[in-house]
Amino acid sequence: MRTRETGRRETDIRRATFAAGCFWGPEDVFRRVSGVESVTVGYAGGSTEHPTYEQVCTGLTGHAESVQVLFDPLKTSYTTLLRVFWELHDPTQLNRQGPDVGSQYRSAVFYHDEQQKAEAQQSKRELEQSGRLSGPIVTEIVPAGRFWPAEEYHQRFLEKNPHCNCGSVCRSGPAES
């Protein structure tokens, strides 16, 4: 089967999975990266089958709000995606991002093969040694398990709700006359 945009076989497309707090912002950022074919928000790293948003929000399922990125390795690299991941959140915050608190908001790289694991570990080491961060990196680098797509209303949420953002309640849209 071939992808609609590039005509390349789906087997030529690679998968990357990241958790960086609330999933709406990372989805929006990764969608803008050249070479990214698609981004799906969902849940990774937990034990409950078919988790719902409400279940994940309890912190009891073990899942993290995550994004699964499908990318064309001829147009972008996993290293580039890692660089975007490190820049879009604070990897020194344990089980939180800004006002969002709980293990479902943890920072994690869910690797899909040994090459991704090695690249993630190397990029983490380089960032730690750079001195750019205020504390140690707490990001997990763990094998990717089952990824569960979030409910449809979460997909492309910020596009559908431009008056919203991660870490805040949605503000009212423009006043209607």
Is 22 labeled as catalytic in the residue annotation? yes
Per annotation, catalytic residue among 22, 57, 164, 170 = 22
Strands, sheet with 14-20, edge to edge from the N-terminal-most edge strand:
140-143, 107-111, 14-20, 64-71, 36-44, 148-149
- Torsion angles phi and psi, residue 41, rounded to 5: -90, 145
- Rounded Cα gap, residues 170 and 164, in angstroms: 4
Residue 114: helix, strand or coil by DSSP?
helix
Among 14, 9, 52, 64, CA closest to 36:
14
> In this structure, what token pair is assigned to residue 174?
């423009």
157 contact partners, CB below 8 Å, separation of at least 6: 24, 27, 41, 164
Catalytic positions are: 22
